[in-house]
């Protein structure tokens, strides 16, 4: 029962869910990191003010500071006054500053953070106006921290802090920091990169996990289609994928057995026919009637050609000889020269490239010879071209005959099919030539296409994959 639940759909749902959960989890950590990075941290104006207050607290709040001390503490103003420059409050950043100073949380304190930019950040509670004294100590009065119009809209790159802290007996410490360079908080780049890499990695792993069985099945199907030899696939993966692989293996074994049996039967019949044909030839030679002897000899010769063709068709592409790198230019050029020596009208368009394919020289030569001889037989002459395009070696053979009806372009590859009434002025062959050529080309992972070009005749296109680099 559990095995049936382990389907490809279930795995995809689990993978998508895991990807979403990991995304949300990582996004949560990114947000938390961003929030924590905005808290009190080194080199912010409030941190500088806090460090200065801790130093002043350690010195028991001196009445004044020298210029050197002001520079060391990175503050521009320091005063001990009876009133605060910043209206005190108790919220947020103020609580953390008091905690750092070791003071009670109810200690009056006021904080103002300002920066030249498109906004001012106030440390007070929402809705509470920030008030502080004028630039000159001793002259109280409200003053806005909004920058002048010419400075508005810029990104704040510097920050200044003002702090007023009640120390004892109604006395207040008032300080103002220098302009401290700060950076706007940004999402951590490393975390974002990790998120992208994680999501892409999960996606690639899920895709490969889903399509790997399909790739194996496609590869096995191509092998089965080329030479009817089945390589059993490992039945693994989700339940429905295993069932598909199991069904494919059954089909492959059945098809391989059926085709092998048919070929074996055809080869056996062809082989067994040789003995009676030879016996009949001897008996025909004993006939006294010359015309009858000639007629019977022609019939036996035709029967012998059909038998040999049947044997060739049964064994086409079944050689155990390993594939070797073949120079298609040399193979085609040599074949054309042989056919010309036999008196056939064949032309060859020479090229500079030399396509290299993997195959058996005798089988490819036999297939191309059959196609070229058909072109000469049915179309008086053959024009052969060799080219290389998109990782393929392409051989085209065009004749000047009447062509083939469109509805018969695929049927002519079937065994014992002849179209001499539509293509030839004389009797055609035995109807196995194209079938043999097709089997040989497909055994090399190639294919044959027939078409009727607009300028007449028949165009045969043979496509073979080039030898893989390396």
Instruction: Give CATH for domain 324-465.
Output: 3.30.565.10
pLDDT for res 133: 38
Is residue 381 over pLDDT 80? yes
Rounded CA gap, 216 and 218, in Å? Answer: 5
Q: What Å distances lie between residue 421 and 27, 73, 225, CA to CA?
A: 76, 109, 32
Quote the distance between the C-alpha of residue 227 and its chain's center.
30
Q: Calculate mean pLDDT across residues 33-56.
A: 72
C-alpha span between 245 and 236 (Å, rounded): 8
What's residue 153's pLDDT?
A: 39
Farthest CA pair distance, the chain: 152
- Which pLDDT score, from 0 to 100, does residue 318 have? 59
Q: Which CATH class is domain 217-315?
A: mainly alpha
* Mean pLDDT rounded to a whole number for the chain: 76
What is 306-324 written as a DSSP string?
Answer: HHHHHHHHHHTT---PPPE
Q: Which two tokens stand for residue 63?
A: 């009445």
Q: pLDDT for 290-327, tens place per residue?
A: 888 888 888 888 777 777 766 766 666 556 678 889 99
- In this predicted structure, the answer to whether residue 115 has a pLDDT above a threshold of 80 is no
More confident of the two residues 37 and 56: 56
Percent of the chain exceeding pLDDT 70 equals 75
| Residue scoring higher pLDDT (115 or 39) | 115
Q: Are 317 and 443 in contact (CB under 8 A)?
A: yes
* pLDDT the model gives residue 462: 93
CA distance 132 to 120: 14
Q: Mean pLDDT lowest for which of 239-253, 322-336, 413-427?
A: 413-427
Q: How far apart are CA 127 and CA 194, in angstroms?
A: 39
* 267 membership: H or E segment, kind and range: helix 239-285
136, pLDDT greater than 50 = no
Please answer whether residues 251 and 219 qualify as being in contact, where contact means their C-beta atoms are separated by less than 8 angstroms. no
pLDDT (0 to 100) of residue 416: 65
What tens digit of pLDDT does each residue of 386-400 get?
999 888 999 999 998
**Interval 351-372: pLDDT, tens:** 778 899 998 888 899 889 989 9
Segment 244-256 mean pLDDT: 86
CA–CA distance, 469 with 413 (Å, rounded to integer):
33
Q: Which residue has the higher pLDDT, 63 or 209?
A: 63
The pLDDT value recorded for residue 156 is 47
More confident residue, 441 or 239: 441
pLDDT higher than 60, residue 199 = yes
**Would the pLDDT of 26 be above 80?**
no
Q: Which residue has the higher pLDDT, 453 or 132?
A: 453
pLDDT tens digits for range 212-227: 777 788 888 877 776 6
pLDDT for 276: 82
What is the rounded distance in angstroms from the CA atom of residue 84 to the CA atom of residue 109? 8
| 375-379, Cβ contacts within 8 angstroms, sequence gap of 24 or more | 375/399, 375/401, 375/458, 375/460, 376/339, 376/344, 376/345, 376/346, 377/424, 377/428, 377/429, 378/402, 378/423, 378/424, 378/428, 378/458, 379/457, 379/458
Q: What are the domain boundaries of the chain? A: 2-37+195-213, 45-181, 217-315, 324-465
């Amino acid at each position: 029962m559990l095995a049936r639940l382990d389907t490809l759909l279930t795995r995809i749902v689990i993978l998508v869910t895991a990807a979403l959960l990991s995304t949300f989890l990582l996004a949560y950590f990114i947000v938390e990191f961003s929030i924590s990075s905005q808290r009190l941290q080194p080199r912010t104006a409030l941190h500088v003010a806090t460090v200065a207050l801790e130093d002043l607290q350690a010195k028991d709040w001196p009445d004044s500071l020298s210029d050197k001390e002001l520079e060391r503490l990175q503050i521009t103003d320091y005063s001990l006054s009876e009133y605060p420059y910043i209206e005190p409050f108790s919220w947020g950043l103020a609580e953390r500053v008091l905690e750092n100073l070791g003071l009670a949380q109810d200690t009056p304190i006021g904080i103002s953070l300002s920066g030249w930019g498109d906004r001012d950040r106030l440390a007070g509670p929402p809705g509470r106006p920030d008030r502080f004294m004028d630039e000159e100590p001793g002259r109280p009065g409200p003053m806005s921290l909004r920058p002048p119009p010419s400075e508005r809209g810029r990104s704040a790159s510097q920050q200044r802090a003002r702090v007023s802290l009640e120390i004892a007996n109604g006395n207040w410490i008032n300080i103002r920091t220098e302009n401290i360079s700060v950076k706007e908080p940004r999402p951590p780049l490393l975390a974002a990169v990790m998120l992208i890499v994680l999501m892409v990695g999960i996606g690639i792993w899920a895709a490969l996990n889903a399509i790997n069985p399909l790739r194996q099945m496609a590869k096995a199907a191509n092998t089965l289609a080329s030479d009817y030899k089945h390589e059993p696939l490992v039945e693994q993966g989700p339940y429905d994928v295993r069932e598909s692989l199991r069904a494919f293996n059954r089909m492959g074994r059945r098809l391989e057995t059926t085709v092998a049996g048919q070929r074996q039967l055809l080869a056996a019949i062809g082989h067994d026919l040789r003995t009676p044909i030879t016996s009949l030839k001897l008996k025909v030679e004993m006939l006294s009637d010359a015309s009858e002897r000639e007629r019977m000899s022609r019939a036996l010769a035709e029967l012998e050609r059909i038998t040999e063709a049947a044997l060739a068709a049964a064994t086409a592409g079944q050689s155990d000889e390993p594939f070797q790198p073949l120079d298609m230019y040399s193979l085609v050029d040599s074949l054309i020269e042989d056919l010309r020596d036999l008196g056939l009208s064949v032309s060859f368009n020479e090229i500079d490239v030399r396509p290299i394919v993997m195959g058996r020289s005798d089988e490819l030569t036999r297939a191309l010879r059959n196609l070229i001889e058909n072109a000469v037989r049915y179309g008086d002459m053959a024009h052969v071209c060799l080219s290389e395009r998109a990782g393929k070696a392409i051989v085209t053979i065009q004749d000047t005959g009447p062509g083939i009806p469109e509805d018969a372009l695929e049927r002519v590859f079937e065994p014992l099919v002849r179209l001499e009434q539509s293509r030839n002025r004389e009797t055609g062959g035995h109807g196995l030539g194209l079938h043999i050529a097709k089997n040989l080309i497909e055994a090399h992972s190639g294919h044959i296409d027939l078409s009727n070009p607009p300028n007449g005749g028949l165009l045969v296109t043979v496509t073979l994959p080039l030898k893989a680099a390396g």
